């Protein structure tokens, strides 16, 4: 595994971005199919401006990509790596007993 401090910092920043509940809602919404800002905002229960702002941050981090179709822009997970990380963690959350083990670390 890489031990380059810059790579570790970059990875930590990506996880910080994904750790925000609003950005995570956005990411999970665009996981399967491209969606426009309005669709994402409605599904996530967020304002258009908040979704747009967060999509900008996610796009800068290469977690989502955008494609213009006419006058609308559709966003989707950037690539198979992003999809895999999110799907794997969703599966993990579904399998994990949320109660910590008695007398020890997780």
Residue-wise pLDDT for 49-85, tens only, equals 999 999 999 999 999 999 999 999 999 999 999 999 9
Whole-model pTM: value is: 0.82
pLDDT surpasses 70 at 100: no
pLDDT digits (tens, 9 = 90+) for 14-34: 999 999 999 999 999 999 899
CA pair distance 82, 62, nearest whole angstrom: 9
SS3 97: coil
Residue 25 has what pLDDT?
95
33 vs 105: which has the higher pLDDT: 33
Ranges of each domain in the chain: 5-93
Looking up tokens 């967060």 gives: 54
More confident of the two residues 2 and 56: 56
Length of the chain: 106
Hey, which CATH number is domain 5-93, 3.40.50.300, 3.10.20.600, 3.40.50.1980, 1.10.10.10?
A: 1.10.10.10
């Amino acid at each position: 595994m890489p031990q380059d401090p810059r790579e570790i910092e970059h990875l930590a920043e990506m996880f910080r971005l994904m750790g925000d509940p609003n950005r995570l809602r956005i990411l999970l919404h665009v996981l399967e199919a491209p969606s426009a800002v309005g669709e994402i905002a409605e599904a996530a229960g967020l304002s258009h401006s908040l979704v747009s702002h967060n999509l900008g941050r996610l796009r800068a981090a290469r977690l989502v990509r955008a494609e213009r179709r006419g006058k609308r822009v559709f966003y989707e997970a950037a690539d198979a790596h992003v999809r895999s990380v999110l799907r794997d963690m969703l599966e993990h959350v579904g399998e994990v007993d949320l109660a910590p083990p008695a007398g020890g670390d997780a």
